[in-house]
Structure formats: C-alpha cells, structure tokens
Amino acid sequence: MGSYKLICLSCNRTIVDNYTLSCPCGGGFVRTAYDARQLTVRDMPGMWKYYDWLPTKGFIDIPGKTVTYKSEALAKELGLRELYIAFNGYWPEIGAMIHTCSFKELEAPPTILRAMEHGGKAMVLASAGNTARAFAYLSTITGFPLIIVVPGKNLGNLWIPGREPGKSVHLIAMGEGNDYTDAINLAGRIASVPGLLPEGGAKNVARRDGMATVMLDGAVFMKTLPDEYFQAIGSGTGGVAAWEAALRLRDDGRFGQRLPRLHLAQNLPFAPMLHAWEEGRRDIMPERDMPEAKELISQMYTDILSNRNPPYSVKGGVYDAMKDTDGIMYGVTNEEAISAKKLFESLEGIDLLPASAVAVSALIQACDRGTISPDKKVLLNITGGGYERLKKDMKLNPVKPCIEVEGPDVPLDDILKVIE
Ligand SMILES: *Cc1c(COP(=O)(O)O)cnc(C)c1O
Ligand SMILES: [Zn+2]
C-alpha cells in the first residue's frame, strides 16, 4: 500500500524518494509511480481514502476530503444533464469537512507528513492566504514547525478554526507593497538555511498528489472519468494534478480511456497563462503577458489567483497538461465572477470563496458559447467554499506575526533570531 518511486519526466530515470523535489538532471517535474496500478478506496480518515495514490507511509487523522455530488439546480440553469460538483470546503450537511475552506487543505496534509517521514525539522512556505491557512492548521494539528511568509495585506486570510494556533507556527508578515512573489522570494532565502525544508510548490509530488484526490473523488463518484474539468487557477498546480490523476485513472482501466479536457480560468486583468496559451507559446514573456504585474494584481477580484511564476513551461507542467487534454483557458472579469458567485450560491445553497466563482463563471461562458454540449459529463472543481457557513459553527482564531519585515531582502539573521 502507498509504495511508490519517482520518475523524472525529462530523463525518465527512476528515483527513490528522499524528499526529492527535482531530478539531478535539472529537467522538469518528477512524478510518483505507485505500485498500485488500480485504485482501491480505503476505509481511512478523510482524504486518506485515496491512500494508495498518496506519497506517505502513514496518515493524519482529519476529516477533510473532497465531496462530489450531482448538481440539480445549477445544472438545470446551465442546461447540463450531468454536472458534478467536487466541493472542497466546509459544508457539514453533505459531509464536507475541510475546516480551512479550500483545497489547499488537500495539499498540506500529505506535504507535511511527507516532510516529517523524511526527517525534516521544519518547513518554509510562502502564501497569499489559503495555502498559509491550510499549512498553519496542519502544523497546529501535527506540531510540525512551520515558517510562513505572507504579504501583510493577506494576513486576514490566516486563522485557525476552532483552536488556538500552535506554537509550531511562525508567521512572517511583509510590509505594504509586497505581493505573493515577494513572499516566495523571501521564503526561498529562508529555506536555504540548513535543516529547513522548502515546501517546493508544484514541484512537490505530495502537493500535486494531494490535489489530485479531487479528480479521483469525482471519477469514483461518477464511476468514470469526466469529459470536462473546470477549475480556477493561479499557479495551475491543481490543473496539473487533475491531469495526472486522470492519467492514473486511465491506466487503472476501469474509468474510461479518454482524458478529461481541462478548462482552466484566470481572473482578469492578471492572466499570464491565458495570454501565453492563446498565442500558442510554451513560454511566458513577462513584459508581454504581465506588464505592470503588481498594478494588475491589485485590480483582481481575488489575488489568491495571482502568481507571477507559475509552473507553466516546465516539462510536466500546465502547458503540457493543456496540450495533452486539448484544454481551453478562460479569462474572467471581476463582474463576471461576482455574478457567478451570486448565481451559484442562490442555486446550490452554499457560499463560495471568490476563486471558485471564477471557475463557475468559466463554466457559464462555456455553456453560453456552446463549447460543451449538454450531454457531456462535467466536473466542476469548487476549490473553496463554506467560509460563511464555518463562521456560524466555529471561532476563527487569527495567527499573529512573530515579525514584520519591509521586503524580500531583509537580513536572514533578523528572521532566524525570532524563530529560534
Ligand atoms: C490556490 C487556489 C486556487 C488555484 O489553484 P492552483 O491550481 O494552484 O492555481 C483556486 N481556488 C482556491 C480557493 C485556491 O485556494
Ligand atoms: Zn531527470
């Protein structure tokens, strides 16, 4: 059970996992190759029902997992016969118990456990919000030390549901004018300190395989691979994970042989992957695809979807996932997202995080334009929701910074002093 090797997608070499984030060849992603070719759904807590295809020996006993259900009201509104919603958030009435309300809580558990199982002492990560919240929660539950770098304006996203933040959580807040990419740069510097593990982002197979459980859950519920998969992206890691899950399910043999088409949506006006993809380019050209990035990001409905350095060009990344599935990219304006949010909430009866509304809007666009026909099996990834619902049930305790810094070039000693 759960045993695997890593394969380098560039040179095809097989690597024994030693918390390996990349191959010595310096090529593209490494990917897990699990011994279990067919998926057995396990009677284990939360997302560990997909234990066979997660890169950990043990498990963490929390209830969070994707809950997939068949939509009636939104499906009818859009004229779809088979719309399935993969809900990632808090909605106890349907058994959805992701307490930090986004699918980042599918990345954090296997990532932290994998680091612990490989003897890591502490992990460093950068985040604009949902990732930080999920990892801080998991650090609180496991006691595994975590250093989180967050742009100051995103501090409000950082809370622990129903309990006090653990002493293992060390939060570094960055002053005004810093965005997510500045946080990534500072986190990268901190992670170079011996003993501190970088969380690795999309390169980390635990993050991708954790997110991949969304597609696994959809396919297990639908008893087949979907035809179409919709998701809002910032880094696109979730899209890559959905593709990788679909490749495994195709290999399993019982879920059909056609890969779902990826429909990935960015929030305008900041949409570097959309621009590169529309021009057929594997490379993002910063001056063309995201001029004045900080200004554009400040205009977004949700900067959770901003990432100036997404894993787009890398072998095994977003571009390859889109090519292999004949994917489509969408740009969604703030107004479109807001109206999609209202529509979804009134029809399905649960509140959405803003990013999820971007995916709903892409689905509306696809239906309006006739891009997908009414008989297609559609899987809509609701990447986050139930925050308003959660607030009724639980106290959300803010995580307080242990230091505030001006920018990514702050001397490392200043930071190490306070986290020791
Ligand atoms: C991170 C996040 C996304 C984007 O996911 P990626 O696939 O990593 O780009 C979408 N929605 C929510 C709620 C998120 O937290
Ligand atoms: Zn290699």
Of all atoms in ligand 1, which is nearest to the CA of residue 232?
10
Q: Is a pLDDT exceeding 80 seen at residue 420? A: no
Question: What is the distance in A from the centroid of ligand 2 to the CA of 289?
Answer: 29
* Interval 106-148: pLDDT, tens: 999 999 999 999 988 999 999 878 999 999 999 999 999 999 9
86 close to ligand 1 (CB < 6 Angstrom): no
Q: pLDDT-derived band of residue 416, with 50, 70 and 90 as boundaries?
A: confident
Question: What is the distance in A from the centroid of ligand 1 to the CA of 48?
Answer: 21
Q: pLDDT-derived band of residue 1, with 50, 70 and 90 as boundaries?
A: very low
235 close to ligand 1 (CB < 6 Angstrom): yes
- In this structure, the residue with its CA closest to atom 4 of ligand 1 is 233
104 close to ligand 1 (CB < 6 Angstrom): yes
* Interval 178-237: pLDDT, tens: 888 889 899 999 999 888 998 999 999 999 999 999 999 999 999 999 999 999 999 999
pLDDT score recorded for residue 2: 57
237 close to ligand 1 (CB < 6 Angstrom): yes
* Interval 37-65: pLDDT, tens: 999 999 999 999 999 999 999 999 999 99
Q: pLDDT-derived band of residue 266, with 50, 70 and 90 as boundaries?
A: very high
pLDDT score recorded for residue 263: 98
pLDDT score recorded for residue 106: 98
The reply to whether 130 sits in an annotated binding site is: yes
Question: What is the distance in A from the centroid of ligand 2 to the CA of 313?
Answer: 16
**Is 227 in contact with 260 (CB distance < 8 Å)?**
yes
Q: What is the pTM of this model?
A: 0.97
Please report the domains of the chain, with CATH numbers, ordered by start residue. Answer: 67-102+205-390 (3.40.50.1100), 104-203+395-419 (3.40.50.1100)
Q: What separation in angstroms does the CA of 200 have from each of 7, 24, 191?
A: 17, 15, 10
Question: To the nearest whole percent, how much of the chain has pLDDT over 90?
Answer: 87
Q: Is a pLDDT exceeding 70 seen at residue 273? A: yes
Q: What are the φ and ψ backbone dihedral angles of 14, each rounded to 5 degrees?
A: -95, 135
Ligand nearest to the CA of 387: 1
User: What is the average pLDDT value for the chain, to the nearest integer?
Assistant: 95
Ligand nearest to the CA of 12: 2
* Interval 323-365: pLDDT, tens: 999 999 999 999 999 999 999 999 999 999 999 999 999 999 9
Contacts of 28 (CB under 8 A, 6+ apart): 8, 9, 10, 314, 315, 316, 317
The reply to whether 157 sits in an annotated binding site is: no
**Is 385 in contact with 356 (CB distance < 8 Å)?**
yes
Q: Is 14 exposed, middle or buried (0-12, 13-18, 19+ CB in 10 A)?
A: exposed
322 close to ligand 1 (CB < 6 Angstrom): no
